[in-house]
Amino acid sequence: MKYSIEDIKKRVDEIYDSVVSFRRDIHENPELSEHEVRTSAKIAEKLTALGINYQSNIAGHGISALIEGKNKEYGVGIRADMDALPICENNGLTYSSKNPGIMHACGHDIHTAILLGTAEILSEIQDELPGCVRLLFEPSEETIGGAKQMIDAGCLNNPKIKSVLGLHVETTVPVGKVEFIPGPMNAASCEFYVTVTGKSCHGAHPNDGVDSLVAACDMVGTIQTIITRRVDPSDPALVTIGQFNSGTKNNIIAGEAKFSGIIRTLNLANRELIKTQIKQICQGISASYGASCEVEFHDSYPSLENDYDLYKIMTDAANEALGHENIVIKNKPSMGADDFSYFCHGTRGFYYNIGTFNPQIDPEGHPIHSDKFNPDEECIKVGILTQVAGVLKILEEESKEW
């Protein structure tokens, strides 16, 4: 390769200011999921300036770009999400959001800027790359999950993408470090909605009706026994019921009750088990009260499990780029969900965190989705460096198969 790690570090330092400038521009002009019009246009403008071919308007406002290497039949993918959140920014930055009620509070502006910086360096050594690099600028991560739609649109084909990298900011990890989680990293999820139908009547004569509220309350309590009695306690799973609505007045027996929640599991088989159990519990309890019920399930993202071979490759790459003292290995997965998980099914995926915490910039280390979220932009250097180093190692490894 033309560049050593030191050469790459030098280039990262040289382009850093321009990458930060890009990040601040889209941070000032955030756009919600499915509305990333300006953001997409700015990305396209930058790719054009770099001479990188791309396709736009994928899965909405997504962009898929390609850096062609020596072998045009295979490649490595890198994903960055680019949508913002419906949050009013409140951190007093000179480049705070200009769009009221919208904020890049999850770091997607940083992810996007890092991918463009990575693209710039890789495009400079394009002729020496063993294979291709697919750049995936994903829309709508916070809502409908743009990853699956980009995959369905064929973004992992022509050339064949066998491995995909992604990263996320992490406020609990000091800036300058990365956090790797081998194996399971994020949970699969499924939203569910239950409607219990009884018969309303006067509260003084409950025998004339069927109390849907009492039946629904019984369901809420019993559903929790699925976790404590039906799922292996060594296999993490959660059922959260976050909404419950019933009744119209304090002296009327409720004719209808509705509640909804979400299932989270690291094991996809457990997700199906819990869905079956919820349906059986709700139908059984409603029948015992003389009521009826409907249960709807909306599967969300699958579980995110990092490929172990990619974990080893990325650990080696990060060790060379950052030093082993700057690699944090965490063996505790999160029960949160991320649609990068779609890249881990059908392809090899590796998702990792880059530290953003700097007590001099944000002493409290406000978490993502906070209106005071303020990551140290030095994390951008770590992101670009590890992505470039990782892609080079993965391409070198995969070239042996072609």
Percent of the chain with pLDDT over 70: 100
Least Cα distance to 168 among 15, 352, 365, 315 occurs for 352
Query: So where are the chain's domains?
Result: 5-184+303-399, 188-299
- Burial (CB < 10 A; 0-12, 13-18, 19+), residue 18, is middle
Instruction: Give me the architecture of the 188-299 domain, per CATH.
Output: 2-Layer Sandwich (3.30)
CATH classification number, 5-184+303-399, choose in 3.30.420.40, 3.40.30.10, 3.40.50.1010, 3.40.630.10: 3.40.630.10
pLDDT for 307:
97
Instruction: State the number of CA atoms in the 13 A half-sphere of 161 facing the CB.
Output: 31
Please state the length of the chain: 402
pLDDT for 116:
98
16 classed as catalytic: no
Quickly count helices (H) and strands (E) in the chain. 8, 16
Residue 259 vs residues 22, 118, 290, 398: alpha-carbon distances, Å: 43, 45, 18, 49
Across 181-187, average pLDDT: 96
Residue 317 vs residues 5, 169, 378: alpha-carbon distances, Å: 9, 19, 19
State the catalytic residue, choosing from 289, 301, 342, 351.
301
Q: Which pTM was predicted?
A: 0.92
pLDDT for 402:
73
pLDDT for 346:
81
State the catalytic residue, choosing from 31, 120, 377, 398.
377
378 classed as catalytic: no
> pLDDT digits over 108-156, tens only?
999 999 999 999 999 999 999 999 999 999 999 999 999 999 999 999 9
> pLDDT digits over 6-51, tens only?
999 999 999 999 999 999 999 999 999 999 999 999 999 999 999 9
One-letter amino acid at 89 equals E
